[in-house]
Amino acid sequence: MRILIADDERAIRYSLKEILEMEDYQVDTAENGTEAVEKAEKEKYDAIFCDIKMPGMDGMEVLDRLVADGVESPVIMISGHADIQIAVECIKKGAFDFIGKPLDLNRILITLKNATDKANLVTQTKILKKKVYGSDMVGSSEGMEHVRKMIEKVAPTDASVMIMGPNGSGKELVARNLHQQSQRSMMPYVEVNCAAIPSELIESELFGHEKGSFTSAIKQHKGKFEQADGGTLFLDEIGDMSLAAQAKVLRVLQERKISRVGSDKDITVNVRVVSATNKNIPEEIAAGRFREDLYHRLSVIVIKVPSLDERKDDIPELIEFFRDQIASETAMPRKDFSPEAVKLLVEKSWTGNIRELRNVVERLLILGNNPVSAQDVHDYVI
């Protein structure tokens, strides 16, 4: 494990370095705040010890800078002027802990263990979130940069968002990123595919039911709105929802209350609704298949996800991403793609969008040579 010590006193720096190296830590040192920030931004440290009183950039400024720059290493502040007020201020600014001088060996080692345990927990949580919610969006095209900026602006709010785009374009990933970057990120994220649920069951699925409310209702069931209370409910393929269910969803959005099937009792819910569709909703409204008032409730913000054919510049990056992801998940050999193969895939029309591209990459990893050649693309794709 790697530790950074920032202190202008040479004796403190090297005595603490010697102690930690005896405990099998790898230790770097910095003699001032500027050097500490430079090292912390370049290297990943498991913990940082930072003195408060240093010439130039002091420890509090270092802490502010590290927090602002998104450095995730736990910062342990040290000072020869132990003061409760200073300690509280450090913790409020984002420090992991505060230790007064003279430094106590046992206190240092216990604090360091707690700090590194927390850092490991944060890392594991991020890995778990990626497994649950999906990874970051891949691509640096103009269209994807616009989607990212929209998510960044909209996610911290509670505004209802409607995501529009063709099948397989990544609407679900946009919804997950909205949740991850929101203030509700630690609360439930619940998905409902409205197209996959029979119209006669959609109300029970969304709002729940009481025991005995219909033939197969052998016990009470909490609906998706209740399950998502405090978090985000993602209504995928909202354009396929029945008019009866649409009316009830509209009521929930207006009143923040639901009632289970077979019950007249209202239950208050606090849910942010994100919806998605591949249909032209104004056309659906004109045809009488979608409620205009619900559309306006759901589409406070509209995010349009471009098709893969509209973002071909991202295809080389997506090929590399899917190749590494598939190889990691399946223990399949990691193969390179020749420039000629990539060029053919860029030129291809992708009616199935991102989903189709991932399937094609997996097919070429299984059947193609290493590196995957243009002939492989002709044989197995085009």
d(CA 279, CA 195): 12
pLDDT for the residue numbered 90: 87
Going residue by residue through the chain, which has 382 residues, state the pLDDT in tens, using 9 for 90 and above.
889 999 988 888 888 888 888 888 889 999 898 999 999 888 888 889 999 888 888 889 999 888 888 787 889 988 877 677 888 888 888 888 888 888 888 888 888 888 888 777 766 655 555 544 445 688 889 999 999 999 999 999 999 999 999 998 999 999 999 998 998 988 999 999 988 888 778 888 888 888 877 777 778 888 899 999 999 999 999 999 888 889 888 988 898 888 888 888 888 889 999 999 999 999 999 999 999 999 999 999 999 999 999 999 999 999 999 998 888 777 778 889 999 999 999 999 999 999 999 999 999 999 999 999 999 999 999 8
Contacts of 287 (CB under 8 A, 6+ apart): none
Contacts of 313 (CB under 8 A, 6+ apart): 139, 140, 141
Provide the CATH number for the domain formed by 309-380 in this structure.
1.10.8.60
- Class in CATH terms, 142-306: alpha beta
28: which 2 tokens? 């770097």
pLDDT for the residue numbered 132: 46
The sheet with strand 47-51 has its strands ordered as 26-30, 2-6, 47-51, 75-79, 97-100
pTM of the model as a whole: 0.64
**Choices 1.10.3720.10, 3.40.50.880, 3.50.50.100, 3.40.50.2300: CATH for 2-131:** 3.40.50.2300
Place of tokens 């044989």: 379
For the chain, the domains span 2-131, 142-306, 309-380
What sign for the dihedral angle of Cα 136, 138, 141, 143? negative
CB 189 within 8 Å of CB 231: yes
CB 162 within 8 Å of CB 301: yes
d(CA 87, CA 100): 9
pLDDT for the residue numbered 373: 94
pLDDT for the residue numbered 126: 55
Q: Do domains 142-306 and 309-380 have the same CATH topology?
A: no
pLDDT for the residue numbered 124: 63
Identity of residue 167: N
pLDDT for the residue numbered 357: 94
